[in-house]
Structure 1
């Protein structure tokens, strides 16, 4: 079995590959949850010295997934737009490790994120990687469809 060689790099969230990956994510979320998540994301939030947008590529430079974080509150970054193309085994984990390391290097003590309870694959993914459920924050307070998680860095 061939081992996938991944290249993870900070990239422009408005570049064509980035937009394509996020469009695929939006379609998948719409199908799973009935909400594309687009209203909860602004590309400008993940650009700048306290934020990060990353694309995972294979050895040929083909995009396989993306993820981002933005500053949420002092010491806390929020993970956004996590996506790995179907069949791209290990890409999601690699993206998440990259984002966690970047956030820690920038001085964040924790990362938070939101997903939907109905998105069992995402809930199980984050739980398996050490994320603990927290009270819903921000715009997710009072939303029974949302579930929020935290990981201390």
Structure 2
């Protein structure tokens, strides 16, 4: 069973997960992906850092959500160590529900075409390819995806 909880981005567990993700991305794409993840942006209101834990409490995944606009959140640093099935799906579902509670109506993200596993994962979970946005405009290696969230009519805090 996987549990998800808000966590301290600066904790040793979080930093270890980020390092594992960066290493894996560098192996797949040649870029660890840290250039477009600014830790300071995670201090923004309606930003969120999550850690996934297995039954024994070990940190097995992470994900971040930060505001792009009033209605659009950006998913960043999504990672699963794949030590057991379903970590990514549970993380993504929790992140989407959290985004709704925070008042977002859509989630956007960027990954690389070379990261076919990630692209397929997001497409299987309802994300569609969109025009590249922000720092990814004009970058042929980048693929941006988005998902509209069901409206819940309220905006609150986690």
TM-score (norm. length: structure 1): 0.94
Q: Is the 8 A contact 2:44 2:66 kept in 1?
A: no
Question: 2:67, 2:11 → 1: CA distance?
Answer: 21
> How far apart are 1:86 and its partner, in Å?
2.9
Instruction: Name the SS for the 1:81 alignment partner.
Output: strand
Tell me whether 1:114 sits opposite 2:86 in the alignment: no
Instruction: Name the SS for the 1:93 alignment partner.
Output: helix
2:52 to 34, 49, 56: 56
2:147 to 135, 139, 151: 151
Tell me whether 1:45 sits opposite 2:41 in the alignment: yes
Supply the RMSD in Å over aligned alpha carbons. Answer: 0.9
Question: 1:43, 1:96 → 2: CA distance?
Answer: 20
> How far apart are 1:6 and its partner, in Å?
1.4
Q: Is the 8 A contact 2:60 2:83 kept in 1?
A: no
Q: Is the 8 A contact 1:65 1:84 kept in 2?
A: yes
Figure out how many residues of one structure are paired with residues of the other and give that number: 149
Aligned partner of 1:33 in structure 2 is 29
Aligned partner of 2:78 in structure 1 is 82
Aligned partner of 1:126 in structure 2 is 122
Task: Flag structure 2 segments of 5+ consecutive residues without an equivalent.
Answer: 150-158
Question: 2:87, 2:65 → 1: CA distance?
Answer: 17
> How far apart are 1:125 and its partner, in Å?
0.3
The more displaced of 129-138 and 52-61 is: 52-61
Residues 142 and 109 of structure 1: CA distance in aligned 2, closer, same or farther (over 3 Å): same
Question: 1:47, 1:7 → 2: CA distance?
Answer: 23
Q: Is the 8 A contact 1:14 1:43 kept in 2?
A: no
Question: 1:89, 1:47 → 2: CA distance?
Answer: 31
Instruction: Name the SS for the 1:113 alignment partner.
Output: strand
